[in-house]
Amino acid sequence: MHRKLLFLLLIFALVIAACAPAATPTPTPLPPTAEPTEEATTEAVAEPTEEATEEMAAEPTEEATEEMAAEPTEEATEEMAAEPTEEATEEMAAEPTEEATEEVTEEPTPDKAATGTAAAALIQGTSTASAMAVQATATAAAEARAAAAAAEPTEEATEEMTAEPTEEATEEMAAEPTEEATEEMVAEPTEEATEEMVAEPTEEAAMEEATEEAVVEATAESSAADEFVFGVVLVGFKNDAGWSQAHYEGGLYVEEQIPGSRMVVVENINAANTEVPFESAIAELVDQGAKLIFTTSDEHEEDTTKIASEYPDVTFVNISGDDTYTGEAPENVGNLMGTMEWGKLIAGCAAALTTETGKIGYLGPLINFETRRLAASAYLGARYCYEKYAGGDPAELQFTVSWIGFWFNIPGVTLDPLEVSTQFFNEGNDVVISGIDTTEALTVAGQRAAQGEKVWAVPYDFRDSCNAAPEVCLGVPYFNWGPAYVDIVSAVQAGTYQSEFKLVDPDWTDINNLATTGIGFIVGPALSEEDQESLDAFIAEMTAFATDSANAGSIFLWIGPLAYQDETEIAAEGEALPFIAPLGEAPSIWYLDQLLQGMSGASKQE
């Protein structure tokens, strides 16, 4: 009887193995296990405890289900084929215990139901029942695998998973995992694992984050190291359509031409603006990293020389000053100026070609060496063209200068340039040449022309100034600071800048080439074609003079006889007045002490 039952159990195991899906990979064989001892066999078949019964009745976990459905290992087959002990045989034949009965009556999983049916058929010894049991077992096993794959582990299964493993389970856990177990390991982590991963970053993640921060910091430091900051102190506002805007756009040109350069600007720095003293403006620029600062007015000259010693690592370049020439400037101060005398000669010529009354007004700022020589240059150009190209008598040409007191209007401090321009036109001057930083003369001319008057104006400093009233604009002499600024910034950046008194001239091959010229002149829409031809001829004469090496150091038309208003001779017949000479040693254009004879207006501040 025992052998018959053993034979049927062997057939049962082989049938289950044959019915297992072919796609299920064979798990890696476990190490050979010795034949169990009698005690172990007895323990294996003993009546289960209540806890074990509940555990067996619980819904299996996904891992358990897959393990039950998988092809049995070789060791398991051998164990099933081994001759059972007497106690085990008796227990198999005996009436089940109460706990076992409860286990059977529990709602079985498909595997357990099919296994119970097959066991009953074997005990009865019926071959037909055996066949039915085999078929039922195979069908139930397939259904169990499908159900187990989608099922959520029960609370009991979760508890079983966290419970202390048995000796056999420990050995199984130590064995090489099956493919199914491997797939489970790479599945979505549990909530506890996810929290642990978020809470405590791995060493690799920490290193990656530190590396990323280091790269960002290094990039910022590299960008700061590559950047060159230069400051610009404006006496007026950067959008004044005049002197200050010309400097501001010169700085923009530097940013376009020199990679990594950055301009920082302070505006309206002058004696009338007590809210922002010059010293505070310089400190602000240095705090922003400026290594080079352009102070853009003679208004800033003395202050620049004084403050430079407080910032020995900063280079200062004052525009229109001459402390470098006189030797008063410290080593970190240089000077820069454009030879606008050439531009003013052209402006005076355009005015003389256009005037119908023979009366020209000159709207002057404050009175100093610079403003006197620029007004005088306009006068020389007007007198020359009035005679040579317009056919008038230069002795009859009236050229009047009125000063407002500063470079632009400051209410309560200066004369109003709108009122001074209006007065010029009221007195019969039909052309006003501006010498201030802003465009009031052109504005008033446009207003008067709109009322039917034949009046014109010539603005100053900035190449787009005619846009304020193009219909009355004869043209504009302008500064082009960009190329000179680029040269200075490049030299300071390279550490090769030397303090110097630098003058920039027109590019006589093309005075309006913005990449090369320092001084230019834009012909305005209001200049007639005939007068433009005459003006072009005058510019050609200037070019010939300037490019002749024999005339180096002098300016066209600044040739004697020349005298001051008080009739003091400064250049004899045919003698060229030098552009600059040490003050007090000899007369020069740069240090013109009075207006010229033939001009009307004050030469000194009253």
Contact yes or no for 594/400 (Cβ under 8 A): no
What pLDDT, on a 0 to 100 scale, did the predictor assign at position 203?
60
d(CA 474, CA 477): 10
Q: What pLDDT, on a 0 to 100 scale, did the predictor assign at position 383?
A: 98
Note whether 99 and 57 are within 8 A (CB): no
Residue-wise pLDDT tens digits, 20-47: 544 444 444 444 444 444 443 334 333 4
Cα–Cα distance list, 312 to 219, 298, 315, 321, 420 (Å) = 29, 21, 8, 20, 44
Residues 246/476, Cβ–Cβ less than 8 Å: no
Hunting for tokens 């009991």 — which residue is that?
A: 156
Give the C-alpha separation, 409 to 401, whole Å.
Answer: 17
| Continuous segment of H or E residues that includes residue 400 | strand 398-403
Structural domain contains residue 218: no
Inside any domain, residue 490: no
What is the chain's length?
A: 606
State the pLDDT at residue 207. Answer: 61
Task: Determine the pLDDT at residue 224.
Answer: 57
179 falls within a domain: yes
Q: What is the mean pLDDT of residues 211-224?
A: 53
Q: Who wins on pLDDT, 207 or 480?
A: 480
**Side chain identity at 472, as an amino acid letter?**
V
Euclidean distance between the first and the last CA atom of the chain, given in angstroms as a whole number = 144
pLDDT at residue 368, as a whole number: 97
Q: How confident is the prediction for the chain on average, in pLDDT?
A: 77
Asked if residue 293 belongs to a domain, the reply is no
Q: Which domain holds residue 10?
A: 2-188
- Residue 239: the pLDDT is 97
The whole-angstrom separation of Cα 16 and Cα 529 is 112
Q: Is 18 within a domain?
A: yes
Domain count, the chain: 1
- Phi then psi dihedrals of residue 522, to 5 deg: -100, 120
Q: Which of 22-36, 222-236, 550-564 has the highest mean pLDDT?
A: 550-564
CA 321 centroid distance within chain: 36
- Rounded alpha-carbon distances, angstroms, from residue 107 to 58, 102, 114, 424: 10, 10, 12, 115
Concatenated DSSP letters of 162-199 = HSPPPHHHHHHHHSPPPHHHHHHHTSPPPHHHHHHHHH
Grade residue 605 by pLDDT with cuts at 50, 70 and 90.
Answer: confident
Instruction: Establish if 524 belongs to a structural domain.
Output: no
Q: How many CA atoms lie within 13 A of 454 on its CB side?
A: 8
Residues 6+ apart with CB under 8 A from 370: 298, 320
pLDDT at 163: 39
SS3 383: helix
pLDDT of residue 398: 98
Q: What is the pLDDT of residue 443?
A: 98
Whether 406 is in a domain gets the answer: no
Please tell me the predicted confidence (pLDDT) of residue 606.
Answer: 75
What value does the mean pLDDT take over residues 571-577?
A: 97
Q: What is the pLDDT of residues 284-332, one digit of tens each?
A: 999 999 999 999 999 999 999 999 999 999 999 999 999 999 999 999 9
Q: Strand locations in 103-168, DSSP E?
A: none
Contacts of 57 (CB under 8 A, 6+ apart): 102, 103, 106
**Lowest-pLDDT range of 8-17, 129-138, 547-556:** 129-138
Q: Which tokens hold the place of 259?
A: 């990679």
The 10s digit of each residue's pLDDT in 131-180 is 343 344 444 444 444 444 444 444 443 333 333 444 443 334 334 444 44
Q: What are phi and psi of 363, to 5 degrees?
A: -85, 100
Mean pLDDT score, 383-394 = 98
DSSP letter string over 10-63? Answer: HHHHHHHHHHS-TTSPPPPPPPP-PPPPHHHHHHHHSPPPHHHHHHHHSPPPHH
pLDDT confidence of residue 188: 45
Q: Does some domain include residue 365?
A: no
Question: For residues 435 and 415, what is the distance between their CA atoms, to the nearest angstrom?
Answer: 14
> What pLDDT sits at residue 584?
87
State whether residue 307 is helix, strand or coil. Answer: helix
